[in-house]
Each structure stands twice: as C-alpha cells, then as structure tokens.
Amino acid sequence: MDQEERLTAVDNIVTQFNTYEDFLDSQITSVDLYYLEDEGLARQLVELGYRGTGEVVKREDFEARKAAIEIARLAERTQKKTLTSAGKDLQDNFLKTLAVREEDNHNGKVSTVIFIRDKNSHGQEVSGYIDYAHRLKIEDFEVYFSGKRRLLPKPTDMSFYNWDSHIAVWNSTPNYQVIADNLEGLLFKYKRDRKILNVDPKVPPGDNSTRIPIQTDLYIQAVIFDHISRRKT
C-alpha cells in the first residue's frame, strides 16, 4: 500500500470512529476476549499489530488525522460564515458583482477596488475609491448585501471627494499605496506585487488589472477594478 492509499485508509477509519479506543475495540473479536480475558490487553495487542481484523493504525497517526480533519471542517465552516453575501437574493448588478468577488478578496486571490459616485444622505454628491478587501476585514457587509444600507465611499477610504464642499482625502491601505501627486493622475500601487493600478478611464488600468463599468440602479456611477497578483505568497 503506497502513502496515498494509506492516508485514505486512515482517513476512512478516523471518520468512522470517534476515538482511538473505539477503533481498537472494533478490531477485537469475541475469541480474543475469551482467551485474553482482559479488554485492555486486547487493545494493546491490536495497537501493536498482534491482533486485529484490519489495518494497523498507530495512536499518534489516528489523533493527528482526527485533529487535521476537524481543523479543516472548522475552517470550511468559518469561511462559509464570513461570506456575508451567501444566501442573499441580490437583484442589482452592483451587489451581484461584489458577491462573486467576496471570497476571492477574503483569501487574497483577487484585489478589487470599487469606484462609486452618488449622493450621500445629505444630498451631497460624493465619489471615491474603496479597497474592497480592506473594508471586508473591518466592516460587516451584511448590511449592504441585505439592502439595509448602501455602500458609499468614506473619508477613511483610499480616496474620497465631496463635490459640494470640495473636500478631497487620500489614504493608503494595508493593500494599496496611494500616489496622488502624479502627472498621470491618481494611481494606486498594490503592495504585494508593486504593480500600478491606473484608474483613468482613458488609459489601460495596468498589468494584471481590469476595469469593469457596472450598470446599476443604486448609483450614478460604479466601476470595478480587479487586480490579480502574480507574486507567490
């Protein structure tokens, strides 16, 4: 039996029995108990490979695989919990676009920058660029996917501009460095691979990046920029 087959066999045993003792007991026959007259001794002989009707599995192997399977199960459950878009009946293209990118932004496969232009609760027109992955980490998006609130740029985002008060703010994030004083206009440098994201619609967005205008009823204008890092992590 090769290594892969052995691991599969151990996994089958681990998922079948709650404890190592349960597994040992399954290998003990009534004949073993009749002659040995000691369940503990019978378990020891099975563990050592002298008795038993099936695969010999060491205690440390059983417990290690049991722990690994439980960790994987908890990680999968946690990942499902973090997807705040899951199970939502999303009607608008903008929210659908964010939903399909939520998991990849959580795990770092994709870095999405969101541009939004619309009016705030005071009727003032605002616009800005949002680091989606960063906002996902510091904010609960359930309120946006459920329609309780609208996602809007904040003065703490990568960029924020109030067209009525003419207040302009730029902030670097854990993922992007903002380059505001540039002849080419506003640029964002992705910190992981140091690639430049150019948000000017008249020029290409940059290496490994795409620009996608979104048709939406929620905002005056919405654009999605996706960047895929080629750097190994």
Domain extent, residue 45, equals: 3-78
**pLDDT per residue over 76-119, tens digit each?**
665 555 689 998 999 999 999 999 999 999 989 999 999 999 99
Whether residues 114 and 201 fall in one domain = yes
pLDDT for 125-165, tens place per residue? 999 999 999 999 999 999 999 999 999 999 999 999 999 99
Closest CA to 149 of 161, 139, 141: 141
Confidence band of 26 (pLDDT split at 50, 70, 90)? low
For position 233, what pLDDT does the model report? 44
Count up the domains in the chain and report the number.
Answer: 2
**Whole-angstrom distance, CA of residue 45 vs CA of residue 39:** 10
Same-domain status, 112 and 204: yes
Out of 43, 78, 113, pick the residue that ends a domain: 78
Question: Does residue 87 lie within any of the structural domains?
Answer: no
Residue 19 has a pLDDT of: 80
User: In this structure, how many other beta carbons lie within 10 angstroms of the beta carbon of residue 212?
Assistant: 12
Nearest to 93 by CA among 84, 105, 101, 104: 101
Please check whether residues 38 and 99 belong to one and the same domain.
no
Q: Are residues 107 and 185 in the same domain?
A: yes
Rounded distance between C-alpha atoms, residue 167 and residue 169, angstroms: 7
Instruction: Tell me, yes or no, whether 106 and 40 share the same domain.
Output: no
Same domain for 125 and 186?
A: yes
Residue type, 200: D
